[in-house]
Amino acid sequence: MTRAIAYLLTMMLGGVHSAPAVAASMQLSDQCPASFVLRDGRCWLQTPYQQYSSLMNAGVGGLKTGLPPFRDGFTPREIDLGRLLFFDPVLSFSGKVSCASCHNPASGFADHRARSVGVAGAEVQRNAPSLWNVGFLQHLFWDGRAHSLEEQVEGPLYGRAEMGTTPDRLVATLNGIEAYRVLFAQAMPATARGIRNTDVYRALAAFESSLISLNSRYDLYAHGLTDALSPAELEGLNVFRSFVARCAECHTPPLFTNQQLAVIGMPEPDGRPLDPGAGAVTHEPRLRGGFKVPSLRNVALTAPYGHAGQFKTLRETVAFYSGGRGHAVPRGEQLQLHWHIWEPKLSDRELDRLVDFLGALTDEAFMPTTPTSVPSGLPIRN
């Protein structure tokens, strides 16, 4: 199938409404995003946390703890191309849903919905997690079924309830848009012979890896600025790290997740049946009702909370963890709850201080620029 025929077919199916003329001077950025340094033509992460060894964890939730392995080494042009793709609804079957529709920068790279809405206009099964610091994560999706950024992007692209496209349709659409042929050739010269699905996955992974949030007031405190936290926030940090609350045992700094899958017995909303989570992926009974431990970075910006948006506020969420082991497990379910889940019986004051501290994890200093237009010529959707 020629590119022209593929493009006409895509237009007939409703994927592209118009394509802008491409100027010969159209260029992707040759500059790395903030928090990266350019070396040998590629972008490498640079953060004060790299001076710390992971062995220097001074107790539970130690401040000067190193970061886990991270995806970097993409070129500036790959990252910039991924940025344009991320905001372009042409990637969806309807031409009305982009990656940013469910991972909106203005909503902490989530969407403020209990459960996201896809191309069919109906809710999907789960809440959209934030993408800040996603390049560090070892388990992706709530049920942990993906283990790389490239593998993860295939889920929403081809999920019928999410973006609803197909592998063949995706490449036919992009190869039919002159602007994308030019831009892919700049970022990945081999695509001059045609854009492949793996090229799309790599560009989106490159952009997602650039979403770094490690400069909150907590981080200033961790690096030695002792007055960076307010008295209330510092009190909350002490509760967070305590062997009573035990928050830091699962939400371990500096990423504020231990990257594990855990069964915590969270209730399902609106009488919905139990979501088996990771148990349906691994087929291990011990993981029935289990989900990944999410990072708490920018958590104050991403309400509602839980794998299905069960809790509207952070205060409700932290109160759940203080409500007693297994108190919300549906009747008839015998879940193997994580051993960290117990009955801390925190006071109202301690719960309030925890919420204060979680607000100190907010940092959007390195927010990427939302494009004013995208190569497909479609309206930006977020």
At 320, the pLDDT band (50, 70, 90 cuts) reads very high
pLDDT of residue 341: 86
pLDDT of residue 25: 53
Query: What tens digit of pLDDT does each residue of 107-126 get?
Result: 999 999 999 999 989 999 99
Containing 44, the helix (H) or strand (E) segment is strand 42-45
Q: Which residues pair with 105 in a beta bridge?
A: none
At 22, the pLDDT band (50, 70, 90 cuts) reads very low
Distance CA 348, CA 111 (A): 29
- More confident of the two residues 148 and 22: 148
At 322, the pLDDT band (50, 70, 90 cuts) reads very high
pLDDT of residue 53: 78
Query: What tens digit of pLDDT does each residue of 163-186 get?
Result: 999 999 999 999 999 999 999 999
At 312, the pLDDT band (50, 70, 90 cuts) reads very high
DSSP-derived pairing of the beta strands 36-39 and 42-45: antiparallel
Query: What tens digit of pLDDT does each residue of 54-92 get?
Result: 655 555 677 888 898 999 999 999 999 999 999 999 999
Whether the pLDDT of residue 239 is over 60: the answer is yes
Distance CA 154, CA 175 (A): 18
Distance CA 82, CA 229 (A): 35
Query: Average pLDDT, whole number, for the chain?
Result: 91
Domains with residue ranges and CATH for the chain: 3-209 (1.10.760.10), 217-359 (1.10.760.10)
Q: What is the mean pLDDT of residues 289-316?
A: 97
Containing 317, the helix (H) or strand (E) segment is helix 314-321
At 342, the pLDDT band (50, 70, 90 cuts) reads confident
Residue 333 identity:
E
Whether the pLDDT of residue 29 is over 50: the answer is yes
At 218, the pLDDT band (50, 70, 90 cuts) reads very high
Buried b vs exposed e over 197-215: b needs ≥16 C-beta within 10 Å? Answer: bebbbbbbbbbbbbbbbbb
pLDDT of residue 63: 86
Q: Which of 155-159, 265-269, 270-274, 304-308 has the lowest mean pLDDT?
A: 270-274
Residue 165 identity:
T
